[in-house]
């Protein structure tokens, strides 16, 4: 993608100030599985808060301050914004207030989105089956599914998605997100990965799910000359929100992509469709929570501009040649219409003068100049 387009896209989302967030009651400890590569806001309602972390992978140690981690930012109200989190940042996050007291604690498992298992229910594709952990014990690996997200379209057929996270459960114990459970344990199984499932949906339109934001237009995107494609990034789009793309007003669907019928575009599963790879110029629109948030217009090549100019010039020359004859015809027609109109007006006025309305005396005077 051209640098300028990336700059505009990166500027758009922060300006709108809308991040997907999770929260935990004050004074509590909350455990949550999430996906790497997708921005998240950990909520902490304490202005001037300090955040500390302890990652489960790498060197063990005491809690450390988050001030030196490039992809993390403490917001003015106290919440922690984590951009493009990596699986290695799985661990414990503590929010302390200005008085040094803990407000909330998060235990976050950023599961590796590059291993995402994607299925579509309407294509008969099946999610992962439960397995036991290959450690010689009875730990069960299973998927804990999140609720279905809202349909990405309304009034028309659409699709909705849900996320499934890898959990491990010991007999008679609470299930724990896989990499919070394993930590640095050397264990690997193809079952240790998150899931994304999609299905068709058809719902009525309501105002409950809309973002109520103005949409932006990005002009002049071009396909890369070497790769012959470009990535488009939908502002406010997220793995955790319904996203929908249109190409020249034709909806792009997961069903078409996963069935192998559509090769002109590619919805990136690791971003939940926020990023779209395109291989041909078109007008692309993206919708988040059923609301238009961005439109991407292709750049016009110099060859196309020159062809349009030549066509317009030829049409103008033809119009100029035909203009004298057409002008005479138009002038004669106007004179005839004006003459007929004048006669009708005079006749109407004369009739009114001669035959006044019943019960009224005629006080009209016909004046002709």
Tell me the per-residue pLDDT of 85-98, one tens digit each, with 9 for 90 and over: 999 999 999 999 99
Q: Is the pLDDT of residue 359 over 50?
A: no
Asked whether the beta carbons of 258 and 125 are under 8 A apart, the reply is yes
pLDDT tier, 185 (very low <50, low <70, confident <90, very high otherwise):
confident
In the beta sheet, which residues pair with residue 29? Answer: 105
Predicted confidence band at 360 (pLDDT cuts at 50, 70, 90)? very low
In this structure, what token pair is assigned to residue 343?
Answer: 């006669």
pLDDT in the model for residue 351: 45
The backbone torsions φ and ψ at residue 279, rounded to the nearest 5 degrees and listed phi first, read -120, 0
pLDDT of residue 180: 94
| Measured CA distances, 98 to 325, 335, 364, 368 (Å) | 86, 88, 92, 94
Q: What does the pLDDT read at residue 337? A: 56
Q: Does domain 20-111 have CATH number 3.30.300.30?
A: no
Residue 36 has pLDDT above 90, yes or no: yes
β-bridge partners, 165: 144
Cβ partners under 8 Å of residue 161, min gap 6: 148, 149, 196, 197, 198, 242, 254, 272
In this prediction, residue 183 has a pLDDT band, given cuts at 50, 70 and 90, of confident
Across 107-135, average pLDDT: 94
Quote the longest CA-to-CA distance of the chain.
Answer: 116
Rounded to the nearest 10 degrees, how much is the dihedral formed by the CA atoms of 21, 26, 28, 33?
Answer: 0
Domain 217-298 has CATH 2.60.40.10: yes
Q: What is the pTM of this model?
A: 0.76
Shortest CA distance to 30 belongs to which of 18, 43, 40? 43
**Partners of 107 in beta bridges:** 31, 92
Q: For residue 32, list its beta bridge partners.
A: 108
Split at pLDDT 50, 70, 90, the class of 152 is very high
Is residue 205 scored above 80 in pLDDT?
yes
Residue 95's pLDDT is what? 96
CA distance 34 to 74: 19
The model's confidence at residue 367, banded by pLDDT at 50, 70 and 90, is very low
pLDDT of 81 above 70: yes
Q: What's the pLDDT band for 65 if we cut at 50, 70, 90?
A: confident
Pick the residue with more confidence: 104 or 214?
Answer: 104
- Predicted confidence at residue 312, as pLDDT, reads 57
Report the pLDDT averaged over residues 276-286.
95
- 275: tokens are 């990023």
Predicted confidence at residue 255, as pLDDT, reads 97
Mean of per-residue pLDDT scores for the chain: 81
Where, residue-wise, is CATH 2.60.40.10 in the chain? 20-111, 217-298
Instruction: Please report the pLDDT score of residue 83 as a whole number.
Output: 94
Q: Which residues contact 92 (CB under 8 A, 6 or more apart)?
A: 53, 54, 56, 63, 105, 106, 107, 108
Question: Residue 363's pLDDT is what?
Answer: 31
Angle value at C-alpha 37, between 35 and 39, nearest 5 degrees: 85
Average pLDDT over residues 171-175: 91
Q: pLDDT per residue over 297-336, tens digit each? A: 998 765 554 555 566 556 656 766 665 555 556 556 656 6
pLDDT surpassing 90 at residue 249: yes
The predicted structure's pLDDT at residue 336: 64
**Is residue 266 over pLDDT 90?**
yes
Which pLDDT value is given to residue 59? 55
State yes or no: pLDDT of 232 exceeds 90: yes
What pLDDT shows up at residue 171?
87
CA torsion 118-209-274-276 (nearest 10°) is: 90
Strand partners, 143: 166
Q: Is a pLDDT exceeding 50 seen at residue 3? A: no
DSSP category for residue 290: T
Q: Per-residue pLDDT for 369 more than 50? A: no
Pairing of strands 102-111, 117-120: unpaired
- Portion of the chain with pLDDT greater than 70, in percent: 73
**What mean pLDDT do residues 88-111 have?**
95
Neighbouring CB atoms inside 10 A of 251's CB total 17
Phi-psi region at 260: left, alpha or beta (left = phi > 0; alpha = psi -120 to 50): left
Please state whether beta strands 72-74 and 80-82 pair in parallel, antiparallel, or not at all (unpaired).
antiparallel
Query: In whole angstroms, what is the distance from residue 267 CA to residue 67 CA?
Result: 35
The contacts of residue 35 (CB under 8 Å, 6+ apart) are 110, 111, 113, 116, 163, 194, 239, 270
Q: Rounded mean pLDDT of 177-181? A: 94
What single-letter DSSP state applies at residue 262?
-
């Amino acid at each position: 993608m051209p640098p300028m387009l990336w700059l505009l896209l990166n500027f758009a989302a922060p300006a709108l100030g809308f991040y997907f967030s999770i929260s935990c009651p004050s004074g509590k400890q909350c455990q949550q599985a999430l996906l790497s590569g997708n921005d998240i806001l950990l909520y902490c309602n304490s202005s001037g808060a300090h955040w500390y972390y302890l990652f489960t992978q790498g060197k063990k140690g005491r809690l450390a301050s988050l001030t030196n981690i490039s992809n993390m930012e403490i917001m003015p109200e106290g919440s922690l914004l984590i951009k493009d989190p990596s699986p290695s940042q799985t661990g414990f996050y503590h929010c302390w207030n200005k008085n040094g007291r803990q407000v909330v604690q998060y235990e976050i498992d950023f599961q590796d989105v590059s291993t995402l298992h994607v299925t579509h229910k309407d294509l008969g594709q099946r999610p992962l089956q439960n397995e036991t952990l290959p450690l010689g014990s009875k730990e069960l690996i299973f998927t804990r599914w999140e609720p279905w997200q809202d349909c990405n379209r309304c009034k028309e057929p659409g699709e909705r998605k849900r996320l499934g996270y890898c959990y491990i459960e010991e007999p008679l114990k609470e299930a724990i997100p896989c990499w919070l459970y394993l930590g640095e344990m050397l264990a690997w199984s193809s079952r240790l990965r998150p899931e994304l499932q999609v299905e068709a949906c058809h719902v009525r339109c309501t105002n409950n799910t809309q973002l109520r934001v103005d949409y932006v237009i990005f002009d002049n995107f071009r396909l890369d000359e070497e790769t012959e494609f470009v990535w488009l990034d939908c502002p406010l789009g997220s793995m955790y929100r319904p996203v929908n793309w249109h190409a020249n007003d034709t909806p792009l669907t997961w069903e078409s992509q996963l069935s192998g019928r559509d090769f002109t575009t590619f919805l990136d599963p690791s971003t939940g469709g926020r990023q779209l790879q395109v291989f041909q110029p078109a007008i692309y629109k993206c919708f988040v929570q059923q609301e238009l948030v961005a439109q991407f217009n292709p750049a016009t090549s110099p060859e196309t501009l020159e062809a349009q100019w030549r066509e317009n010039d030829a049409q103008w020359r033809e119009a100029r040649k035909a203009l004298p004859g057409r002008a005479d015809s138009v002038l004669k027609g106007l004179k005839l219409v004006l003459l007929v109109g004048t006669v009708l007006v005079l006749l109407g006025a004369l009739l009114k003068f001669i035959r006044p309305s019943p019960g009224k005396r005629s006080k009209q005077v016909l004046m002709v100049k």
